[in-house]
Structures are given as structure tokens and as C-alpha cells.
Chain A
């Protein structure tokens, strides 16, 4: 094949994207497309893994065996999702352990929502309902992402996450229909998680530096604000149905746009948490770093055992 110049390669690449032809690991791709995906997919993976911590906090204190089994299954799914995503980053030539070390050094980010503490059992409800709800809303369009391995991982993740949201909503519904104290607990969890859940969609479109390019590459299919609006429109009636109040005095149905108007998001809080100053940032990263350090001897031992078995087989 004749050598193609970079402009021609880029033109053909964009043509494929425009025709909705998926990009696969060995295909030519612009370096920036590769780097954008490595950044996005590895941060997505980190979010799944760090996301196990706030919920893991409640496994031993779940109110009954059914809830405990469900929560365990959910947290195990998050581990699985992290693993699908780390293998997707590896198809782009990224080194799995290097991306994990970037999380531990603070170079790589993860979803800010996991830097909030889970203070009561109702938080398991709010997390499943709102945080997984927002995650699903983000991830459904990613099932059509231009990069094949990422899109395929998202298909699996979305299939599995719909139970996550339902189990969370079920917890909220039960508490909201319970005693005064239980209902207050559910309302308190909603109050604390509502705004951080809306922040999960990222900064407003006007301030989102990656959106335009990511949309042109069809990594992203909807803007942050579009998805946020969808989330509000879908969630408000659900809260009403179970008798909880969305903590937003400015929330109002807007007939003309066919959606809700809602209050100003505190973006200073968002950026502050992104920069590492949220209530649990240090604790979360420290827990991950310790997990890797404390598991070092296990990985070494498994390698030594594998090498020994190989030698035995050869002799």
C-alpha cells in the first residue's frame, strides 16, 4: 500500500466516523483521538472502582440479608465494569497498571460524586437511584460511541446497571413509605445527593473544553446540558410519586420547552471537589493506593506459582 500522508489518513478516519463505521483497535486513528479515549475510558474505569467504596461502606450494615445480597451483587458488578473498561484502555495501547498509578498519584480523575460520604442506609437508595441513574443516562449514548471496544463494554455495563438503579429506587420507596424517621432519612439522602448527581454530567456546555471535539469524533453523542436536562425531567416525577421533595426551590415545569427549569448549580463546589478538596477525596485515593500496595505480595506469589507450574510442565 502506498504511504499516505497524515491529512489523507485523517480525512479517511473522519469519513468513517461520519458514516458511523466503528473504529477498531488496530485501525489508524489520530493520536489525539487515542489520547482522548485513554483519558476518558480510564477515568470511567477508575470511577467504577472508586465507586465501590461508598457502597462497600454499608455491606456489613445492610438492614437484612436480601438487601445485603443485592448490595454485594451491585458492588461486584462495579468491579466487573471497571475491569471491562481497563481492558478497553489496553486495546488502545495504554498500560493498565500505569493508568491505575495515575489514579493513585492524583494525575487521573474519577467521577466527583464518589467524594461524598454515604452517611446513612438511605444513601444506598439515593446512590442507586440518582448516581446510577445519571450514570446510565451518560452511558446509554456511549453504547453508540465510535470506538468499538468502548461501545461494546458500555452495552454490557448498561444491561447490568438497570438493576442497580431499581434496587436504589426500591430502597427509597420503602423508606419514604415507612415511619417518619425513615421518610426523613430518605429525604435527607435526596437532599445531599441531588445536586452532586446533577454535577455528574460535567460542566455546562459553554465551559466544557472537550465536548465539541468529542462530538465530532462521535465519542460523545449528547452534550452535558442535554443529558442533565433529561435527568431532571425523568427524575422529578419519580420523586413526586414516592412523596419526596427535590431540594430545589427554583424547580418549575416549563410548558414551552416541555421540560423543567431548575436552579443554578454550585459550580464552585464542583470544581473544588474535582481539584481534590471534596469531603472524601483523600480517603478514597488512599484506600485504592493501599489496596494495590497490600495486594503486591499476592500478585508476586501468583506469578511465582505460575512460573513454577510452567517449569514443572516443561520438565
Chain B
């Protein structure tokens, strides 16, 4: 029976105009059209969305948690990218 299993889809919902789509979970469906319809029933029963994206889960490529340290390390040492790095003397405004 397992070979009849429908593929897994990741579901992203835009909750209102002006906001980006956000991952809400996943579901099983035979094709994209069914995935959108199922996502409507599973994830927007209380008007949580105005737009749905579905992506077949095996098309999602992720960074690996064990490599997170080296992957994100370059940003850690660059505190000068934040405005709080700089001293602004008292009396200077609008900066």
C-alpha cells in the first residue's frame, strides 16, 4: 500500500495583502491542484489566508544544522553592520 502514498507538500500561506507567505505545515496530495485544495481545508478553516503556495517537499533544499556554525559564522564578527556599533555624540539628531 505504501507505494500508493501521495507525495508530501509544504504549505505556505499569505495571511493578508502586504505580508509574505509563511510556512504553516505540510500535507499529502496527489498533485499540486489537490494540494492547494487540501491546504485550503486543513490550514485556512478560519480565514487564515488569502493566498496559498504549495511546494513538493522533496524540492526543498535546506542548510544542515551541524553546519550552521560555519555557515553563519561570517556574520558574527561583523558587528559594524549594525547601527549600534557607532558612537553618535549627544546633540546630534536625525541620525
Contact = CB atoms under 8 A, between A and B. Distances in A.
Interface of A: 1, 24, 26-28, 73, 76-77, 80, 83-84, 87, 90-91, 95-98, 101, 152-153, 160, 296, 299-300, 302-303, 305-306, 309-310
A1 B67 contact: yes
Given A76-B45, A305-B30, A306-B31, A27 B65 contact: yes
Contacts of B42: 80, 83-84
A110 B67 CA distance: 38
Main secondary structure of the interface of A (DSSP, over half): helix
Interface in B35-66: 41-42, 45-46, 62, 64-66
Interface in B4-23: 4-6, 8
Contacts of B67: 1
Contacts of A303: 4, 6, 30
| Chain B: number of interface residues, binned into ranges | 20 to 34
Closest 5 pairs between A and B when the two form their complex, measured CB to CB: A302-B30, A306-B31, A306-B30, A87-B26, A27-B65
A302 B45 contact: no
A97 B5 contact: yes
A83 B30 CA distance: 16
Contacts, number: 62
A28 B66 CA distance: 8
17 contacts: A1-B67, A1-B70, A28-B66, A80-B41, A80-B42, A87-B8, A90-B8, A90-B26, A95-B5, A97-B2, A98-B2, A101-B1, A296-B1, A299-B6, A302-B6, A303-B4, A309-B31
B25 A87 contact: yes
Contacts of A90: 8, 26
B4 A300 contact: yes
Nearest to B7: A306
Interface string B54-95: 000000001011110110000000000000000000000000
B5 A96 contact: yes
Nearest to B34: A302
Contacts of A95: 2, 5
A9 B46 CA distance: 41
B45 A80 contact: yes
Given A80-B42, A83-B42, A26 B30 contact: no
Contacts of B45: 73, 76-77, 80, 160
Contacts of B64: 26
Nearest to B28: A96
B88 to A, nearest CB: 35
Contacts of A84: 25, 42
